[in-house]
Structure 1
Amino acid sequence: MTRAPAVLRFSDPRRHGVHEVTDAYGVVARIAVGRTGNRFTVTDAQGALLCAGRTSRWRLPRRWDVTGPDGSPLLTARVRGIARTSVEVHLRRGGRLLVRGRAWRRDLRVTDEHGEVVLTAVPRAPAWSLRRHGHAVQQAPGRLELAEVVALVHIWGRTREEESATAAVGALAGGSAPG
């Protein structure tokens, strides 16, 4: 597995049908998302598979399973909370991570089982932007593999998209969304 660079940028919008992940030297990964959004694949700059993730068709029980390039399990991510503000991650190589964010925001912070910050990500555009899913990501050196980082940030982005869609449906149905 490839260690992730300390700083990564996740692009939005898509280029040639994929979201690009770059470091200071160029593209390090590409994320292709299935039509329904319940599957994704991540390849490296040369096109080799890094990982693939999937969730159930209806995203219940809000669990993502991610496999490595050989099809073996890489990580499992379970979305927690009504407002989808945290994701519990079990790494198959050992260890547990907690991804936390704030409701109605897209930033995130990942901590290990000891409470140490492993990774942070902040959006690169305001929430009302058409390019709202780009992130600037920084991780503690040598803690996570590239496939793990890309999968975590992508799953968080999908979780935030689901929350935004749920809020929009609620607002249209007569509910109200926090301001």
Structure 2
Amino acid sequence: MGGVEAPCALIVMGVSGSGKSTVAAALAQRLGWRFEDGDSFHPASNVEKMRAGHPLTDEDRWPWLNAIADEIARVCGKGEHVIIACSALKHTYRDVLLRGRDDVRFVFLKGTRELIAERLAQRKGHFMPPGLLTSQFETLEPPEAGEHVITVSIDETVEAIVDGLVRQLKLGGAKR
């Protein structure tokens, strides 16, 4: 990781249904870090738009991404750690979240459209309808190596994913 100390923030990213919140919460618990769901930073207008089945525009996303970036800056400025689940689908979105920081890492949860559609169909009580999955994949610009990213397949159990991440991040807390 280029000699950088442990990141102060991890952003677990991917399309809706990839397991961002589940993996991020489990990783936060394992590491003893705070977990935040990026969805909680959306303004009410964005939530209503998604609930109605309409994809967000970039214009809708800027205030949301900036709110998350502000939280990262606040947490890192206090010397604390946070794991945030956030779709971060485009390079420009990730640039906003990073704000040039080198102490933030992305964890990209990668899975097939079929597997994720199956998971979305089973999910209850979430504002993201399964019909928006196509727009998520159309929007997705997979992160590149220079973006401080760890890419993991969602084909494993949450525990196996978290174990692998802890080992890759060299943060301790991996189960033996």
TM-score if structure 1 supplies the norm length? 0.30
More strand by share: 1
Higher relative contact order (CA 8 A, sep 6+): 2
More helix by share: 2
TM-score if structure 2 supplies the norm length? 0.30
